Amino acid sequence: MIKDGQLTKEFNRKMTCITCPTGCQLEVRSGADGELEITGFQCRRGQEYARNEVLNPRRVLTTTVKIKGGALPLLPVRTAAAIPKGLLAKAMSVLANIEVEAPVHTGDVILADLLDTGIDLIASRDMDRASQVG
């Protein structure tokens, strides 16, 4: 349990590391001194994953936005890096009101500095104008 940004003594959480296909089963406990105790990892990346999942969980947001004049009505987009998990719902409501104009190329910045995270939302694929298809 995290209270006021501090881990309380009874904190104990199990999770699967998704950093690589091995899928190690991790356990995170808070010790008497408030320090995290992480077990079950086979490498340092898993240890870091568990720490981040508890203290600062982040996710890459993948979704679609409306596109005007495109070959398809929706453009797949993603954040260029993971953003705080707590911002995902707010980001989705912002993106619901966005409409871009075709053509768009993979990697084009659709929305810079999403929710002041310093991370851009970028196009995940090319999208020609409807008249340019075929």
| Residues in binding contact with ligand SF4, number by CB under 6 A | 11
Dihedral, 1, 86, 14, 24 alpha carbons, nearest 10: -150
Residue with smaller CB distance to ligand SF4, 3 or 44? 44
Contact window for ligand SF4 (CB under 6 A) among 16-24, 65-73, 108-116, 118-126:
16-24
| Least CB distance to ligand SF4 at residue 15 (A) | 10
Contact set for ligand SF4, span 39-68 (CB under 6 A):
41-43, 45-46
| Least CB distance to ligand SF4 at residue 43 (A) | 4
- Tell me the torsion sign for CA atoms 41, 44, 46, 49: positive
Q: What secondary structure does DSSP assign to 3-41, as a single string?
A: ETTEE-TT-EEEEE--SSTT--EEEEEE-TTS-EEEES-
| Binding-site ranges for ligand SF4 (CB under 6 A) | 17, 19-20, 22-24, 41-43, 45-46
